[in-house]
Amino acid sequence: MIQLSSAQHIHIIGIGGAGMSPIARILLERGYTVSGSDRTPNAISEALARDGATIHTGHSAENVIGADMVITTSAAPDDHIEIVTARTNAIPVYKRRDILAPLMAAHKVIAVAGTHGKTTTTGLIVHLLRECGRDPSYIVGGVMGNTGTNAADGRGDLFVVEADEYDDMFLGLRPDTIVLTSIEYDHPDYFTSPEMMLDKFAQFVRLLQPGGRLIACMDYPMVQQIIAQNAAGADIIGYSTQSHPAAAMQAHDIRLQDGDSAFDLHIITGGQINVNVGAVQTPLLGEHNVANSIAALTAADVHGVMLSHSIPALAGFKSTARRFELRGTAGDVVVYDDYAHHPTAIELVCKAARARYPDRPLWIVWQPHMYSRTQTLIADYARAFTAADRVIVTDIYAAREAAIAGVSGAWAAEQIQQTAAHHSGDIDATADYLVANVPDSAVIVIMSAGDAPAIGQRFLAARRG
């Protein structure tokens, strides 16, 4: 395990990213000297700079000289100039997963994992614990609306962390509680098969500490497989929005309302309703967010926060950035931004948007994220937009990948047969297309894990004149 001392200077490659910036924040709050580099500045890296981090725009050998260790993003290749320089100068280089256990060593760890729902569920758990006086430390994959940050070093004994499966990040954790929100095949650039991905989740569950608890959404077959194969000896608490018989915490009579959701929470024992908790209201829209809310309530409950306290606290949750986030209006046109990039997440957000706006034209702007994911999951993407009226498909956001011949935004648009689809091109061309074609009463949801939020900003500026 990495030995940490507050006298150390730690340099972070990719410091502005969703995975690395929370680590920088925790280190800063604990008194470390923190520097970091990224290709371009953003609001998160600028906030870190204001709080004492030295931020370098661009990457160079000089950035790491004087550091005691380097923590690198998974996106940086082995021949990255700062990694090479660090190793040449005998500066140890670690990945994100290597530093997590040392950061959390003095805490009980609540780790939230899953293909979708991680960020919202992690944020909800943090919010409920904070509202009920627990003051946890936390790392969230998005900026929380309630705190204005994605990480903090709290005074309590709990550490809530979003546990990312990519590059085996979650295998660096030693959790006391695991929340499994979902498992579906994703990241084909890293997991070469569904079986490989499932095996990594199984390894993660086996890291649960003695006496630990596994809180799992029973509505996903791959979650059920994990429980059947790997959870012997763990205290398992299942939850469900679909009345799964193995779920102790169940949502019934789900009601999607103007901008939020309500449901009746039942606690099931032996196949029968043991406790009818009653009506629960969450400020988040959609059945998927009902599931996320149950997961958070359950996690808070097993750590001593009674439902009678946590349920009222739900109402004050302000979500996290880029989760059905209202970006603005231009006349009667409403623009939202959402991080959805997996087919299931896209489908769930489309349904939630349709429930919120049943009588208005629903336009989805989809920026496909990575060539390998688009190619591998295209059949699921083609079926994901049925709740929408129009799908505008941008060019593919490559992220860390090279292009794949024959795979493009135009090709992806052609595969969408059940909803009218159009390939719009790059950021500027897409914004121009929306300005020229979106009807006055439309609702636009921009779905992207890349840079497509700029489309909404440019559309709003142009439409407002």
What per-residue confidence (pLDDT) applies to 319?
A: 87
Residue 344 belongs to a domain: yes
Residue 2 belongs to a domain: no
Rounded to 5 degrees, what are φ and ψ at 329? Answer: -130, 155
Which range marks the domain in which residue 137 is found? Answer: 104-314
Residues 6+ apart with CB under 8 A from 368: 341, 374, 381, 393, 394, 396, 397, 409, 412
330 with 310, same domain? Answer: no
407 with 436, same domain? Answer: yes
Last residue of a domain, one of 285, 314, 343: 314
Residue 1 belongs to a domain: no
Residue 170 belongs to a domain: yes
Asked whether residue 271 carries a pLDDT value surpassing 90, the answer given is no
- Express the helix, strand and coil content of the chain in percent, nearest 5 each: 35, 25, 40
39 with 177, same domain? Answer: no
pLDDT digits (tens, 9 = 90+) for 9-24: 999 999 999 899 999 9
What per-residue confidence (pLDDT) applies to 138?
A: 98
Percent of the chain residues past pLDDT 90, beyond the cut? 88
Q: State the CATH number of the domain containing residue 229.
A: 3.40.1190.10
Residue 455 belongs to a domain: yes
Q: How sure is the predictor about 232, in pLDDT bands with cuts at 50, 70 and 90?
A: low
332 with 292, same domain? Answer: no
Q: What is the mean pLDDT of residues 64-84?
A: 95
pLDDT digits (tens, 9 = 90+) for 182-201: 999 999 999 999 999 999 99
**Hey, which residues are catalytic here?**
118-119, 162
Q: How sure is the predictor about 152, in pLDDT bands with cuts at 50, 70 and 90?
A: very high
Alpha-carbon dihedral 350, 353, 358, 360, rounded to 10 degrees: -100
Sign, CA torsion 40/43/47/50:
positive
- Using a 10 angstrom Cβ sphere, with 0-12 exposed, 13-18 middle and 19 or more buried, the burial of residue 189 is middle
Of 7 and 323, the one with more pLDDT: 323
Asked whether residue 140 carries a pLDDT value surpassing 70, the answer given is yes
What per-residue confidence (pLDDT) applies to 400?
A: 81
304 with 417, same domain? Answer: no
What per-residue confidence (pLDDT) applies to 230?
A: 65
What per-residue confidence (pLDDT) applies to 72?
A: 96
121 with 89, same domain? Answer: no
pLDDT digits (tens, 9 = 90+) for 240-267: 999 999 999 999 999 988 889 999 999 9
What per-residue confidence (pLDDT) applies to 75?
A: 86
Q: What is the mean pLDDT of residues 331-347?
A: 95
Q: How sure is the predictor about 4, in pLDDT bands with cuts at 50, 70 and 90?
A: confident
pLDDT digits (tens, 9 = 90+) for 419-434: 999 999 999 999 999 9
Q: How sure is the predictor about 231, in pLDDT bands with cuts at 50, 70 and 90?
A: low
Q: How many domains does the chain have?
A: 3
Residue 320 belongs to a domain: no
Residue 3 belongs to a domain: no
111 with 47, same domain? Answer: no
Asked whether residue 233 carries a pLDDT value surpassing 80, the answer given is no
Spatial contact of 202 and 180, defined as CB atoms under 8 Å apart: no
62 with 196, same domain? Answer: no
- The neighbour count for residue 46, using CB atoms within 10 Å, is 13
Last residue of a domain, one of 47, 75, 95: 95
What per-residue confidence (pLDDT) applies to 420?
A: 94
Q: What is the mean pLDDT of residues 115-123?
A: 96
pLDDT digits (tens, 9 = 90+) for 287-316: 999 999 999 999 999 999 999 999 999 999
86 with 144, same domain? Answer: no
Residue among 191, 171, 167 at smallest CA distance from 77: 167
Q: Which of 51-60, 267-276, 374-383, 449-458 has the lowest mean pLDDT?
A: 267-276
Residue 4 belongs to a domain: no
What per-residue confidence (pLDDT) applies to 36?
A: 97
Last residue of a domain, one of 314, 344, 371: 314
298 with 355, same domain? Answer: no
What per-residue confidence (pLDDT) applies to 322?
A: 86
Give CA–CA dist 458/452, Å, rounded: 10
418 with 460, same domain? Answer: yes
Residue among 101, 56, 52, 121 at smallest CA distance from 82: 56
238 with 337, same domain? Answer: no
